[in-house]
Amino acid sequence: MKFNLNMVLASLLGTIFVLMTVSFVSEAVFDPRLPEKEGYAIAVPEEPASGKPVEKQETPIAVLLANASADAGTRVFKRCQACHTDTEGGPNKVGPNLWDIVNRPVASHEGFSYSAAMKEYANGGETLWTYENLDAFIKAPKKDVPGTAMGFAGLSDDEDRADLIAYLSTMSNDPVPFPEPEPEKTADASGTATTPEGDETTPAEQTDAASGEPADAGKPNEEAPGEGGDDASEDGGSASQTDAASQSE
C-alpha cells in the first residue's frame, strides 16, 4: 500500500515537472512582443484650429525667374519640339509658333486655329502671355484654361518651368525683362512691421493708413504683376509638352 502511494506521488511530481519544463521552453522559443496599444496606428494629418487644410504656398514666377537658367530651359524645350517651333517666322505645328511669345496677345498667332476655350480666355486680345500667365498655363493647362484642346498634363516642377520660361523669353528680338520680385514685409514679436527700406510702422500708424491717411514712404508699391485672369498661355504652355501627343487648339 505504501509502495503504491509513493508511485502515485512520484508520477504526479514527474508530470508537474514535465509540464513546467515545457512551459519554460515554449516561452523561451516563442517570445510574444505585444504592442503597447492594440490595433494599427493611423497617421492623420493635422489641421489648423479653423479646420481648414493647410494650403501649399506657391512661389511667384518673379522669384523663380531670379534663379532661372535659359540654358537649362533649352533642354526642357526639347520636350516641346514635337508640337512647337521657336524660331522667328517658324511654321505652326500641332501647336503655334512660340517666337516672341512673352507679352503676345493670347490666341493671336497668325494662321493657327485656336480652340474655343482659348479664344474665350483671350478676351478679345486683352489677355497677354505675361510671365505670370505663362507660368500658370504651363503648370496646369486644363486647370488654367478649362476646355483647352492642349493635351499636355502640365509641368509641375518649379525649376524646370522657370528655366523653360526663361528660355522662351530669349526667343525675341526685344526680350521682355523679368518681373521684379515683390519685397516681403517682416514683423517682429512686438507686432511692428518692418518695410524693406528699414522703416517701421506701428500698429497705430497702420490704423491711420487704413482710415485713409497717406501711407508711409517705406511701404512697398503693391501693383498687380500683370494682366490676365487665369494664368497661362496655350502658346507658351504647349511649349512645355512632355510628349509629342497631338494637340489641336
- The pLDDT tens digits for 153-196 are 889 999 999 999 999 999 999 999 999 988 864 334 344 444 44
Distance CA 13, CA 75 (A): 85
Are 172 and 100 contacting, i.e. CB atoms less than 8 angstroms apart? Answer: yes
Residue closest to 194 by CA, chosen among 209, 177, 216: 216
pLDDT range class, residue 246, cuts 50, 70, 90? very low
pLDDT at 199 over 70: no
pLDDT higher at 37 or 59? 59
pTM of the model: 0.55
pLDDT value for 4: 76
pLDDT at 146 over 70: yes
pLDDT value for 60: 94
- The whole-number average pLDDT for the span 185-211 is 45
**Fold observed for domain 70-180+227-238:** Cytochrome Bc1 Complex; Chain D, domain 2 (1.10.760)
Distance CA 133, CA 136 (A): 5
Residue 153 has φ and ψ, to the nearest 5°, of -75, -30
Residue 196 has φ and ψ, to the nearest 5°, of -60, -25
> Which residues 6+ apart lie within 8 Å of 36 measured at CB?
none
Residue 124 has φ and ψ, to the nearest 5°, of 70, 25
pLDDT range class, residue 8, cuts 50, 70, 90? confident
pLDDT at 241 over 50: no
Residue closest to 65 by CA, chosen among 140, 142, 143, 170: 170
pLDDT value for 160: 96
For the chain, which residues make up each domain, given as ranges?
70-180+227-238
pLDDT value for 69: 97
- CA atoms within 13 Å, Cβ hemisphere of 9: 6
% of the chain surpassing 90 pLDDT: 45
Q: At what angle do helices 158-170 and 70-77 cross, to 10 degrees?
A: 100
pLDDT at 18 over 60: yes
C-alpha cell at 223: 501693383
Residue 161 has φ and ψ, to the nearest 5°, of -65, -40
HEC secondary structure over the chain: CHHHHHHHHHHHHHHHHHHHHHHHHHHHHCCCCCCCCCCCCCCCCCCCCCCCCCCCCCCCHHHHHHCCCHHHHHHHHCCCCCCCCCCCCCCCCCCCCCCCCCCCECCCCCCCCCCHHHHHHHHHHCCECCHHHHHHHHHCHHHHCCCCCCCCCCCCCHHHHHHHHHHHHHCCCCCCCCCCCCCCCEECCCCCEECCCCCEECHHHHHHHHCCCCCCCCCCCCCCCCCCCCCCCHHHHHCCCCCCCCCCC
Most confident of 11-15, 105-109, 150-154, 180-184: 105-109
pLDDT value for 209: 45
Residue with cell 497668325: 110
pLDDT at 119 over 90: yes
pLDDT higher at 183 or 117? 117
pLDDT value for 238: 44
Residue with cell 530669349: 170
Residue with cell 518651368: 161
pLDDT value for 21: 84
